[in-house]
Chains A and B, each alone.
Chain A
């Protein structure tokens, strides 16, 4: 795998949901067939930017996520390209079955955008911190899943899912995180980016955990542990070749995500590993079968060991255990 460049000392911090909002505006400008729906969260999900510019292609569905998914399917079946947005807890949390039948089984081009996912939702607490959405969506046939790691990648991911002209799921975050990628950073279906290249361990991360993993890799280096860091943004289809390559190269994989360790990106990696002949060890790091709590994004990432120090600790532990 070739290494992808990134900005090592990023100056700006922005939210991936803003990347979605900007891309949606661009798509609305470019394609008169693009429509967007919101379930009373147009401001938070950034759908409002589209709604203000293209009111005749915006539908305010109110607090009714199940209906929103169905209405979107109806509009899309008339040849439109539709985006629905909500907090992950409500969409796809509340309307999974409508996404399954009305969108995926119907095979209509609706992209489901979940803007507030994971523990970095923060003070709203456990009810709003969806940690199961990847599991829910990954098991559905006929849909692509992307979890971008910064605002530029989120923009590209929105365009990418639109281009597929089929059901899609975009997982973004509420909180602002460093913009470390550039316009040139690749974003492809079934792709991944190797940002750090090391031989001892490969950290496979997505979303906000990617930047934290890059920071962790720096600290690990000073401890004499050489870590690869891969952005596994394409959760479905997964970059199986990368998984095999990293397993062969390092023999130790650590996944990091703000999701339950059961069913998330780490599980997808585990499934990919079973297809290869390998002795590599996999440690799935994330949230371990529990609900979390209120707090700032930074406090929660610290407590649940999903910040740079936490990831460093987990990786060090695994390296000691397996490469001792």
Chain B
């Protein structure tokens, strides 16, 4: 069983991220509900993961030696679905069924609904624990695969997160990489106003974690940080990825109001124009 072909060419990866952004806008507009800003802001990270970092096989989602990707902040699943469809897990036409009756693309991901989804999620704070369980199993049974867990920043306010961080450190889970989407927003406003997280890096370090701090829109840096984590001896790694919510769609960027709403058809048309221009710019690289 051959794992998925890893794309190294950054230009190609940027074009994929551009496509994924377009897909997410389309899905949310069609669904008429869902979380825009976080999903679009994570397009570069999901592109890096599904098209370079992860060992996986879209034709065989249950491949035993695949890396595990645990999505903890399930509300950003549109970007995951879009990345999966573009990677070949299922036909792209299915993306437009998001949040509709009978769809495999549930509003928050469901493990048994869609092959390739490792965990049902939605209630925040649960993903890291599941990822710790997987990584602990893999370590004890000497599996070569790694565990990646995507978390939001607002989610760090859940106490369960810190329980999981402690245990990961106790069991020296060097095979676990948590990628935090540090976009500074949550439903009620900015994280630092709702319930401050800072100094978040120092907190993770105090819990025994190695930390890589990156620009979450620089695909090369995302890949490098995930590779760097593999070289860290017996410590789990946090990749603190600074992102801009809604990145790439200027009328959404930085605005907390875009956390939990979809674009209107008019706004979507505007977004497509912007993304077309971006695409042309990437082609010229």
Whether B137 and A75, one on each chain, are in contact in the complex, defined by CB atoms closer than 8 angstroms, is yes
Name the interface residues of A43-66: CB closer than 8 Å to any CB of B: 56-57, 59, 61-62, 64, 66
Whether A78 and B138, one on each chain, are in contact in the complex, defined by CB atoms closer than 8 angstroms, is yes
* Residue A238 interfacial (CB < 8 Å): no
State the main secondary structure of chain A at its contact with B.
helix
- 0/1 per residue, B140-179, Cβ < 8 Å to A? 1000000000000000000110011011001000000000
* Residue B191 interfacial (CB < 8 Å): no
Which of B122, B123, B126, B138 has most chain A Cβ within 10 Å?
Answer: B126
* Residue A81 interfacial (CB < 8 Å): no
* Residue A70 interfacial (CB < 8 Å): yes
Q: Which of B118, B121, B166 contacts A77 (CB 8 A)?
A: B118
User: Bound state CA distance, A105 and B132, in angstroms?
Assistant: 19
Whether A78 and B126, one on each chain, are in contact in the complex, defined by CB atoms closer than 8 angstroms, is no
- 0/1 per residue, A63-93, Cβ < 8 Å to B? 0101101111111111010000000000000
Name the interface residues of B93-138: CB closer than 8 Å to any CB of A: 110-112, 118-123, 125-126, 128-138
Could you tell me the distance in whole angstroms from the C-beta of B128 to the nearest C-beta in chain A?
8
Whether B134 and A77, one on each chain, are in contact in the complex, defined by CB atoms closer than 8 angstroms, is yes
Whether B129 and A66, one on each chain, are in contact in the complex, defined by CB atoms closer than 8 angstroms, is yes
User: Bound state CA distance, A69 and B170, in angstroms?
Assistant: 17
Whether A73 and B133, one on each chain, are in contact in the complex, defined by CB atoms closer than 8 angstroms, is yes
- Complex interface: chain B residues within 8 A of A200 (CB): none
Whether B136 and A102, one on each chain, are in contact in the complex, defined by CB atoms closer than 8 angstroms, is no
Could you tell me the distance in whole angstroms from the C-beta of B113 to the nearest C-beta in chain A?
10
Whether A71 and B123, one on each chain, are in contact in the complex, defined by CB atoms closer than 8 angstroms, is no
State the main secondary structure of chain B at its contact with A.
helix
A74-B160 contact given A67-B167, A101-B123, CB 8 Å threshold: no
Whether A106 and B120, one on each chain, are in contact in the complex, defined by CB atoms closer than 8 angstroms, is yes
- Complex interface: chain B residues within 8 A of A71 (CB): 129-130, 132-133, 136, 164, 167
- Complex interface: chain A residues within 8 A of B166 (CB): 62, 64
Could you tell me the distance in whole angstroms from the C-beta of B107 to the nearest C-beta in chain A?
13
Whether B126 and A101, one on each chain, are in contact in the complex, defined by CB atoms closer than 8 angstroms, is yes
Tally of A-B Cβ pairs under 8 angstroms: 97
* Residue A97 interfacial (CB < 8 Å): yes
Chain B interface residue bracket vs A: 20 to 34
Whether B160 and A67, one on each chain, are in contact in the complex, defined by CB atoms closer than 8 angstroms, is yes
Chain A interfacial residues counted at CB < 8 A: 27
* Residue A98 interfacial (CB < 8 Å): yes
- Complex interface: chain A residues within 8 A of B110 (CB): 105
Q: Which of B125, B129, B163 contacts A74 (CB 8 A)?
A: B129
- Complex interface: chain B residues within 8 A of A106 (CB): 111-112, 119-120, 130
Whether B134 and A75, one on each chain, are in contact in the complex, defined by CB atoms closer than 8 angstroms, is yes
Could you tell me the distance in whole angstroms from the C-beta of A77 to the nearest C-beta in chain B?
7
* Residue A293 interfacial (CB < 8 Å): no
* Residue A107 interfacial (CB < 8 Å): yes
29 A–B pairs (Cβ distance < 8 Å), ordered by A: A56-B140, A61-B163, A61-B167, A62-B163, A64-B163, A64-B167, A66-B129, A66-B163, A67-B160, A67-B164, A70-B126, A70-B132, A70-B160, A71-B130, A73-B130, A74-B129, A74-B132, A74-B133, A74-B137, A75-B136, A75-B137, A76-B133, A77-B119, A77-B133, A77-B134, A101-B122, A101-B123, A101-B126, A107-B112
8 closest cross-chain pairs (CB), A and B: A74-B133, A70-B129, A67-B163, A64-B163, A71-B133, A74-B130, A74-B134, A75-B133
Interface of B toward A, CB cutoff 8 Å = 70, 110-112, 118-123, 125-126, 128-138, 140, 159-160, 163-164, 166-167, 170
Q: 15 more A-B contacts (CB under 8 A) besides A74-B70, A101-B126?
A: A57-B140, A64-B160, A64-B166, A64-B167, A66-B125, A67-B132, A70-B128, A70-B132, A71-B130, A73-B130, A74-B137, A75-B136, A77-B133, A77-B134, A98-B160
